[in-house]
Structure 1
Amino acid sequence: RDRGEWVISRQRVWGVPLPVFYAENGDIIMTKETVYHVADLFEQHGSNIWFERDAKDLLPEGFTHPGSPNGEFTKEQDIMDVWFDSGSSHRGVLETRPELSFPADMYLEGSDQYRGWFNSSITTSVATRGRSPYKMLLSHGFVMDGEGKKMSKSLGNVIVPDTIVKQKGADIARLWVSSVDYLADVRISDEILNQVADVYRKIRNTLRFLLGNINDYNPATDRIAEADLLEVDRYILNRLREFTAGTLDHYESFDYLNIYQEVQNFINVELSNFYLDYGKDILYIEEKNAHKRRSMQTVLFEILVNMTKLLAPII
């Protein structure tokens, strides 16, 4: 609503040409015949041919126009705005690759693209296809340093992702992404990453505990039917289902921060502070095949399987 008319031409040395010709009297020549002919030349020789050949060699053989009695023509020197290029990617990518489909499920870019790629894409698509090229948009803020300052080489505050991965591991980098509200600008620093690393270690240690305590459990032969589980085990199983359903809902809405917070809450409050602490004596002291022990192992197995799946996108 706030945008004016889009001037799609630019004065640059090189780019995507505007397939426009001019007659001797200044008449504009841009017909279906001339445009398709130029398109065929581009397909055969690439767009550089526009800059390499004279206008008469870019027009169909034998082409005439009443405004050019001497058969002389000139070609447009301006190029297409690069936003028109990127805004037409739905035509060049989605509609030409068999593994993809139009419209795209989602366009993802920085919050500065509402007036850029998002806008040019929907403008070109609605004009030529009558609909948006995407089903939904997801935008994100930008990464700042720990003090909220824009990263700059001159300030020496640039944090390179490869450095994070080498020093702390890819899991920490991935988990950090889920720990921030990406809709706004986000901060990153060694201190922040160390805090995320502490959360990661808690998750890892909890999963190791689960894995270690079902070492002698075979779900095919040792599983206890839900109706026969102890009450506390049924309670945790129900909490697991609620946690799983909530987490899946958050994934559907790309709400990774809530996933990060819910994972911490489930592991710290439901498991570490309550269920696993309660169950240590059962796991360590009860007979191997005791009903109470197998009941708890049945639930631990379900927790481990579900947690592994739910954490896979963010760790």
Structure 2
Amino acid sequence: MNFWKKSLPVHKRREKGAKEVRNLAKKSKFQPKPVRIEGRKITTTFWGDAWCRNLESHSDFSNRLPRGKTYVRNGSVMHLEIEKGLITGLVAGNDLYEVSILIDELPQTNWEKIKKKCSGNIASMVELLTGRFSEEIMTLVTAPSYGIFPGSGKMKFKCTCPDWASMCKHVAAVLYGVGNRLDHEPQLLFLLRGVDPGELIASRMALPVSRRKKGNQLKGNLETIFGIELFDDIESIDTTESDLKTDTNSSTDSALESVPDYKAEANETVHASAVVAVDSIDTFDTFDTVEKPQLPELIPRKVHTNVATRVVKKRKIK
């Protein structure tokens, strides 16, 4: 007695599977996400290629993967969904088979190791998702021992087909479909492993916490350390606004008094300039257009007053 159904042609399987998926989508209210391969290559980007290389590196998958490639290429993967720790798919065979793949989350210790080694080497999310980084970083994130891709022991397969093998051709087709999906949505790999890709970006890397003990104090003689002289007693001074004004005025007067001939010399200079300016005026009407001579900034206010008085007297005499 033959328990296996007669195999249907590929186009018949697809038509039958597509009809069943539409009916299932109406009942369960979900949007089918089929895998469509364009051309001969299943994957064309860094993340998609790396996923497929990781699959093919496991020897215990070798006898099932070729059939899975055939199925995914001919459009038999009618639906594929990637969530945190779970991949689900619908594959068209003689019947429509449901595939589920459980994948362990990336251990936190492994993720911390990856973050530490990637620190400052990935500048933006675009660089990360397009795989535009150094060979060293590529080797790091794809490392079999602690990288982002799951090993064979981290995956558990389940399919509703009658094949007794843990990885059947339908499971293999879904796994290759994941590689193709990562070509278009590479961020799903990080979602699958339960990590945040933004933590690998240089601008978001946290600075290391200082381990220096708080409360350190200088020991020894401060005068010797800094080369200064400290007073024994410092009296508190009540500095008010009036004190500051008085002190400022007295300081200015003291500065001027320290140059005893300054006022006299300034008066003579300004007087000579004013006389020359007034003598050059022909009429009374043009007097207002003459610019005042530039006075030095430090001349006391009373010098300005004397000059103005003498200029007016000169004009009246003329």
TM-score, scaled relative to structure 1: 0.21
TM-score, scaled relative to structure 2: 0.21
Q: In terms of Rg, which structure is larger?
A: 2
